[in-house]
């Protein structure tokens, strides 16, 4: 196991990239590009994990997550929000088959029975809704789990889920506000392109679920994320981009020139600190208004859809005004 917990999350990430380039095992892969691979790499953080060493499109990450949490599996919904990096995997019917969203919200039904337009059938098992119910009604449970790896549906998926297993845990704290933590296991982690957006997806998921499950009589806040990459790999054609990133992010640039320099640190260089990101005032006010005026019944767990639909329809769910970064770094996507 390779555990990175010292410093804030970008230090963990930069060191993992450098180690993968230096110590990763050269290996062939499905795409034919070639990789270097590390096994069982794990990170932990709190807050919103948005890299500063290269520019990320944070609104796109929010849109992609909400697309999944709403149970959507179509390309058109993503394109309408400016998300274009899924285009390479779309099926002839304009969907991706029963991938992330279908498994989160409609687990257990054969692919030919799925409603790709986002409608839900009562016989389908809604993992997200059930987890939210448990967080409020049975918070100390160790069974608040969502699994996206459904062997029955793998052949119908355009791309099998990379992040497959989620577990929420609620812990008591000294100040009376319960803390919600999220543990994620990922079978395959594209270290340079995919993982930075996975950091964001899990961060936003925890924030959204914590806000939805917060109750006046049982206050709840987002806690930590524990993220395990079972196969953490860099593609051979990403080496140059990774070297550029390490030069941009580390305060020890001369060491970044040699990718074997393990122990790279990212501290307050040029003001780089962990990103501060808030729910926008518009979203918080709209959600509070819906609940306070009876539009939302806090005990009706079907209304997670109302909460997510509000998030999807509010242009700025999160306030990213505190985010700044080094320039975008282009790298090819292995298909």
Contact 93, 117 (CB under 8 A): no
Check if 286 is active-site. Answer: no
Eight-state DSSP code of residue 334: P
In DSSP terms, which residues pair with 74 in a beta bridge?
95
State the pairing for strand pair 189-190/220-235. parallel
Q: Please give the Cα distance from 219 to 213 (Å, whole number).
A: 8
State the pairing for strand pair 35-46/220-235. antiparallel
Q: Of these residues, 20, 162, 164, 229, which one is catalytic?
A: 162
Residue with tokens 């009589």: 217
Residue with tokens 């501290």: 267
Other beta carbons within 10 Å of 315 = 8
State the pairing for strand pair 318-319/278-279. antiparallel
What are the residues whose beta carbons fall under 8 Å from the beta carbon of 16, sequence distance 6 or more?
2, 4, 38, 41, 43, 191, 232
What are the residues whose beta carbons fall under 8 Å from the beta carbon of 145, sequence distance 6 or more?
131, 165, 166, 167, 168
Kindly state the helix (H) or strand (E) to which residue 281 belongs, with its residue range. helix 281-292
Contact 105, 128 (CB under 8 A): yes
| Cα angle: 56, vertex 45, 51; to 5 degrees | 15
In DSSP terms, which residues pair with 225 in a beta bridge?
45, 182
- Residues that are catalytic: 162
């Amino acid at each position: 196991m390779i555990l990175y917990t010292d410093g804030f999350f970008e230090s963990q990430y930069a060191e993992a990239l450098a180690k993968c380039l230096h110590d990763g095992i050269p290996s062939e892969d499905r795409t034919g590009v070639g990789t270097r691979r590390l096994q069982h790499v794990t990170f932990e953080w709190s807050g919103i994990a948005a890299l500063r060493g290269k520019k990320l499109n944070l609104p796109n990450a929010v849109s992609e997550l909400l697309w999944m949490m709403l149970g959507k599996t179509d390309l058109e919904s993503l394109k309408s929000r400016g998300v274009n990096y899924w285009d390479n995997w779309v099926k002839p019917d304009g969907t991706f088959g029963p991938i992330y969203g279908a498994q989160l919200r409609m687990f257990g039904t054969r692919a030919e029975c799925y409603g790709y337009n986002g409608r839900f059938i009562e016989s389908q098992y809604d993992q997200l809704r059930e987890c939210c119910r448990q967080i409020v009604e049975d918070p100390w449970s160790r069974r608040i789990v969502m699994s996206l790896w459904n062997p029955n549906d793998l052949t119908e998926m355009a791309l099998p889920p990379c992040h497959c297993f989620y577990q929420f845990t609620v812990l008591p704290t000294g100040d009376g506000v319960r803390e919600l933590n999220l543990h994620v296991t990922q079978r395959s982690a594209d270290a340079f392109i995919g993982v930075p957006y996975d950091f964001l997806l899990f961060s936003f998921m925890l924030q959204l679920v914590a806000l939805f499950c917060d109750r006046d009589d049982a206050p709840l806040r987002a806690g930590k994320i524990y993220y395990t990459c079972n196969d953490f790999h860099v593609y051979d054609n990403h080496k140059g981009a990774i070297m550029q990133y390490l030069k941009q992010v580390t305060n020890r640039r001369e060491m970044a020139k040699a990718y074997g320099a393990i122990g790279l640190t990212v501290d307050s260089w040029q003001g780089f600190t962990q990103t501060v990101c808030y729910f926008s005032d518009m979203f918080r006010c709209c959600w509070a208004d819906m609940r306070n005026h009876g539009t939302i019944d806090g005990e009706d767990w079907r209304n997670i859809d109302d909460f997510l639909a509000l998030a999807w329809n509010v242009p700025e769910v999160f306030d990213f005004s505190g985010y700044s970064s080094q320039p975008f770094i282009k790298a090819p996507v292995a298909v």
